[in-house]
Amino acid sequence: MSVDRRQLLSSGLLGAASVLTITGAAQAQASETPPSPMETTEYIDLWPNGASGLINTSLKETTEVSGTPPFGRTWGVTRPRIGVYRPTKPNGAAMLVIPGGGYRIASVDKEGRNIARFLATNGITAFVLIYRMPAEGWEKASDVPLMDAQRAMRLIRRKADDFGIVAEKVGVMGFSAGGHLCASLATRFDAKVYTPIDDADTLSARPFLSAPIYPVVTMRPDVTHKGSRENLIGADADEAKTELYSTEQQVTSQTPPTFIVHSEDDATVPVENALLLRAALKQAGVAVETHLYPKGGHGYGLTNPDLDWGPLFLNFARVQGLMQG
Q: pLDDT (tens digit, 9 = 90+) per residue, 207-265?
A: 999 999 999 999 999 999 999 999 999 999 999 999 999 999 999 999 999 999 999 99
Please give the radius of gyration of the chain, using alpha carbons only, rounded to the nearest integer.
18
Residues in contact with 258: Cβ distance below 8 Å, sequence separation at least 6, in sequence order: 183, 186, 209, 210, 211, 212, 277, 281, 286, 287, 288, 289
| Other beta carbons within 10 Å of 218 | 27
Tell me the β-bridge partners of 43: 83
| Residues 263/127/153/199 CA torsion (nearest 10 deg) | 170
Q: pLDDT (tens digit, 9 = 90+) per residue, 155-207?
A: 999 999 999 999 999 999 999 999 999 999 999 999 999 999 999 999 999 99
Rounded to two decimals, the pTM is 0.91
Q: Is the pLDDT of residue 6 over 80?
A: no
CA-to-CA distance for 15 and 117, rounded, in angstroms?
34
**Nearest alpha-carbon partner for 112 in 202, 196, 25, 179:** 179
Backbone phi, psi, residue 35, to 5°: -60, 150
Find the DSSP H helices in 216-298: 226-232, 239-244, 272-284
Query: Domains in the chain, please, with CATH?
Result: 5-320 (3.40.50.1820)
